[in-house]
Structure 1
Amino acid sequence: MNDRSGQGRSLHIPSFDDVLTARARIEGVARRTPVLTSRTADTRAGATLFFKAETLQRVGAFKFRGAYNAIAALPPEQRRNGVVAFSSGNHAQAIALAAQMQGVPATIVMPQDAPALKLAATKGYGAEIILYDRYTEDRQAISDGIARERGAALIPPYDHPEVIAGQGTAALELIEDIGSLDMLVVPLGGGGLLGGSALAAKALLPGCAVYGVEPEAGNDGQQSLQRGEVLHIPVPKSIADGALSTHVGYHNFPILQDKVKGIVTVSDAQLVETMRFFAERMKLVVEPTGCLAAAAVLNGIIPCAGKRVGIILSGGNVDLKSLGAFLAG
């Protein structure tokens, strides 16, 4: 890992070697999710598309990879004191399950308006849940206070080197399974998945162009790349609840600067239409955040005619009531 400074602290920027180490830690625990194809999607995009279905990962999202890797990397004394995380849902579930599987106590700080499905699942995995108001309270400050009080390890959802490395194993598997890619398109919230995916893609396929996709209402990553520094924005409002971060991580921003060709945005309406496409044509339940990358490709926002394109479907955790409303609307 390379040392960088950011937000007043020394950072350890993960490398592809860390992705390989993460793969060894999670092997046999995380699922090797399938890569799916669709002739209808190919025709619509004018390209050959490969969908990495992290919707079928443990806890229904890629987040399990980074969560398990981060906890497995902790020294014994920190494991005894437990872990603390903050998340709108998928990282919460992932930390809760990964901690339960490794016998580590877990406390999760979650927004009051997190999807009911994600709250219930996190509690079901045995974690203690502390609720906060995402529009008036600082989840980082709340989590920092709990970690200090308990001597626990804080594992944020994306700004953490072992989390980033773990998330990169999804792209590593995709490339191992289908071979060469011209492009890799990845959902972007805080940047853990995009950062880890870029590490894997550029190490294995130097000519592969890596893109991130954000919701229109929360394009902090796009603005940060344009300005050359991490930009903070107000809490965005979008149906992509897993991508409502106010800034990208300081550990992953140098990776994005070095290895990501561009970041684009999609609208909530395009996310809903893409959810319908997956439900109707591929019989897949994909949550709005999980549709970000696919929406950009299927709507021509990223030109990819004639290319081999990898697309990560990052998660499928949407409650049935919301799913019905999205599909019926």
Structure 2
Amino acid sequence: MRVSTLVVLGLGAGVAALVWSFAPQTLPVDDEAVYPLLERAQVPPQMRVGVLHTGRMDSKAVFAYRGGGLEDRVFGMDVVVVEHPAGTLLFDAGFGRNVQAHAHTIPYLMRTLSSITPEVPVIEQLQRAHIAPEQLAGVVLTHAHWDHVSGLEDLRGVPVWVTQAELDFIRSGHPAARLARELGELDYRVYAFDGPPYAGFDASHDVFGDGTVVLVPAGGHTPGSVIAFVQAPQGRYALVGDLAWQREGIDRPAERPWLSRLLVDHDARAVRAALTHLHRLQQANPDLVILPAHDRRLMQTLPAAFTGAPAH
């Protein structure tokens, strides 16, 4: 057989494998496993959960989860705000004022397959609400990818809560944490998982000490990724960062296609385990709203932070 024929066959097999990686495939779930019922916290009546929309990336569902179609899908760059009597926390920082300059840290293929549209940076939304950055208790990073840290450039001096594993990731020289490094030495506050197992995760950190905001380790998308479980008067939420980009990743459950995993996931096996765990946890706790950071459909169900007005 000629070498050229072998090359053609090899290329054909590679293309076929790539196409197959986008085909529908749900992850196996152990339906016999018993999943915990989440304990109810004593929620302060004045506590509130809201959202700030800082930008969007427009792409296709096919890149978000296996089995996604070619329909347009908005990947929101949203910041969840938790207002608690003990302090106000932002979960991630979304797009900042210089997001177009920050976008050079995105892998070229991702820039090619999506378009970036800035909306209103967090700092400007804070200014409109007459809230000074120093009034914030901090920004809790679900992880340190560029689209979650861009807004930190405008929030210098605000504590940035990270796990030691994520801070090590930022300082490791890994290209996925490039922007976080380029922003310089921020006011990082490392917290430990000093609490007991929570929601089936090995350990936890109770932010306010009352069970309303509990962080758990969920490394996989990045080494130090976390999930935040939040209980508020309006409902119970799990902020899962980028373990899934869209809710179908949890509902089905389904992982990202191979190409997307290659570009963004540190440990695909750990991500798969987290997706199936969250799927079963949601089944056991049907009132738990799981919020992937980039699912604008779900983020729009939250009220706008600081105003009480609808978010969309």
TM-score, shorter chain, exceeding 0.5: no
Name the larger-Rg structure.
Answer: 2
TM-score (norm 2): 0.35
TM-score (norm 1): 0.34
